[in-house]
Structure 1
C-alpha cells in the first residue's frame, strides 16, 4: 500500500467516475484502475463495485475510504506544517460558500496572498449542509454561510455581525415605496427572490406567513448577482441579506433595511475544530480575525 493508491481511491469517491478520477489525478484511466485493483489485492477484499461503469463502494470500501481520508489529511497537513516551519504557507485554500450569505472575502484573500505569495484559492458555491460534510471529509478548508447554533458549536467559527435583510430597488420603484413598507405592501411588489428550498427563502416565507402573507415572486434565482441585475434592469425589487459587495457596483440601486425578525441561523466562517484542521485553514482564520475583529 502506498499513499498514491489512497489518493486514487479518494479521487474515485469524489468524482464517482473512473475517467474523471484519472484526469483529476493526472494519470490514465487504466493506470488508476490497475492501482486500485492492486490495493484490493493487497488488502484481500473488493473495495469498488464495478459493472459497465463505477457503481459505488463495497461496505469494506467505505470503511477503508474513511481511514484513507484521515490518513491523507494528516499527510497533507504534515507537508504544510513543514512549509510553515520554514516561514512559508503554500497550497490551495478550498472554500465553500453559501451564495446568499453575501460574504465578500476578497480582503481576506488579498491579505493572505500578500503575506503568503504561494497560496491559491478555490471557491465553490454550496449549501450549508454540503459545507459541513465537506469539512468532515477534508474536502474543504473553510466554509462560509448560515449555520444552526448547534452546528457552530461543533466547529471553529467566526460569527459575522447580524446585518439583517434589505429591500433592493431601482429608481422606478424607489419613489413609490413607503418609508416603512408592511409585509402586505412588500408582497404586492414584483419580487425577485431566492429559489424555493434555499434557507433564506424559507426564512422569508416563515416571516411573511406569520403576517398572513404568501410570497409569489416574479423571478427566482439561486444567484445574488442575477437577482441584483434584475433589480438594476427595472424588473422588480429583491429581498436579500444585507452586506453584498454587489450593492455598491450597481449605480441607481438603493437598499432599504427592513425591520424583520433575526434569522435562526447565524452567518459565520467555519473550519474544523480538531487536529485535522489544515494549516491553510488556520492561516485563513488568523487573517479573517485581524480584519473583522473590530466588527465581531
Structure 2
C-alpha cells in the first residue's frame, strides 16, 4: 500500500467514474484500475464494485475510503508543515461557497496572496450540505454559506452578522416602489429569485406565505450572475441577502431593505476542527478573522 493508491481511491470516490478519476490524477485509466486492484490484493478484500462501469464501494471499501481520507489529510498537512518550517506556505486552498450567500472573499484572497505567494485557490459553487460533506471528507478546506447553529458547533466557524434581505432593482424602478417595502407591497412586481430547493428560496417562500403573498417569480436561477444581469437590464427586481457587492457595484443598481424576520440559518465561514484542518485552512481563517474585525474590510 502507498499514498498514491489511497489518492486514486479518493479520486474515484469523488468522480464516481474510472476515466474521470484517472484524468484528475494525471494517469491512464488502466494504470488507475491496476493500482486499485493491487491495493485490494494487498488488503485481501474487494474495495470497489465493478460492472460495465463503476458501481460503488463495498462495505470494506467504504471503511478503507474513510481512513484513506484521514491519512491523505495528514500527509498533506505534513508537507505543509515542512514548507512552513522553511518559511513558506504553499498549496491550493479549496473553497466551497453557497452562491446566494453573496460572500465577497476577494479581500481575504488578496491578503493571503500578499502574505504567501505560493498559495492558490480553487472556488466551487456548492450547496450547504455538499460543503459540510466536503469538510468532513477532507475534499474542502473552507466553506461559506448559510448553516444551522447546531451544525456550526461541529466546526470552527466565523459567523457573520445578520444583515437581512434587500430588494435589488435597476434604473427606472425606484419611483415605482412604495416608500416602505413589505411582502404585500411587492405583489405584482416582476421578481427574479433563487430556484426552488435552495435554502434562501425556501426562507422567502415561508415568509411570504406567512404574509399571505405567494411568490410567483418571472425568473428563477441558481446563478447569482444571471440574477444580476436580469436586474441590471431593468427587467425586474431580485430578492437577495443584504451586503452583496455583486449587486451594489453594478452601475445603476440600487438596494433597499425588506422587512422580514431573521433567517434561522447563520451566514458563516466554516472549516474543520483544529485537529483536522490543514495549515492552509487555518491560514485562510486567520486572515478572514483579521479582516472581518475591520469595518472597512468586511467579508460579507
The TM-score normalised by the length of structure 2 is 0.96
The runs of 4+ residues in structure 1 deviating greater than 3 Å are none
Residue 36 (structure 1) aligns with: 36
Between Structure 1 and Structure 2, how many residues are aligned?
296
Contact 2:165–2:241 (8 Å) recurs in 1: yes
Residue 165 (structure 1) aligns with: 165
Residue 272 (structure 2) aligns with: 272
Deviations 1:79-114 (A, max 9, x none): 111111222110000000000000000000000001
In 2, Cα distance between equivalents of 1:38 and 1:157: 40
In 2, Cα distance between equivalents of 1:157 and 1:123: 18
Contact 1:77–1:276 (8 Å) recurs in 2: no
In 2, Cα distance between equivalents of 1:251 and 1:274: 42
Q: How big is the shift at 1:247?
A: 2.1
Unaligned runs of 5+ in 2: none
Residue 46 (structure 2) aligns with: 46
Residue 61 (structure 1) aligns with: 61
Contact 1:170–1:252 (8 Å) recurs in 2: yes
In 2, Cα distance between equivalents of 1:98 and 1:146: 8
In 2, Cα distance between equivalents of 1:182 and 1:56: 49
In 2, Cα distance between equivalents of 1:135 and 1:89: 21
In 2, Cα distance between equivalents of 1:107 and 1:294: 12
In 1, Cα distance between equivalents of 2:119 and 2:13: 26
Residue 291 (structure 1) aligns with: 291
Residue 217 (structure 2) aligns with: 217
Contact 2:248–2:255 (8 Å) recurs in 1: no
In 2, Cα distance between equivalents of 1:112 and 1:128: 24
Q: How big is the shift at 1:183?
A: 1.5
> Which residues of 2 match residues 1-296 of structure 1 at below 5 A?
1-295=1-295
Question: What is the aligned-residue RMSD (CA, Å)?
Answer: 1.1
Q: How big is the shift at 1:220?
A: 0.5
The TM-score normalised by the length of structure 1 is 0.98
Q: How big is the shift at 1:128?
A: 0.6
In 2, Cα distance between equivalents of 1:258 and 1:66: 45
Q: How big is the shift at 1:71?
A: 0.8
Partner-residue secondary structure (3-state), 1:6: helix
Partner-residue secondary structure (3-state), 2:172: helix
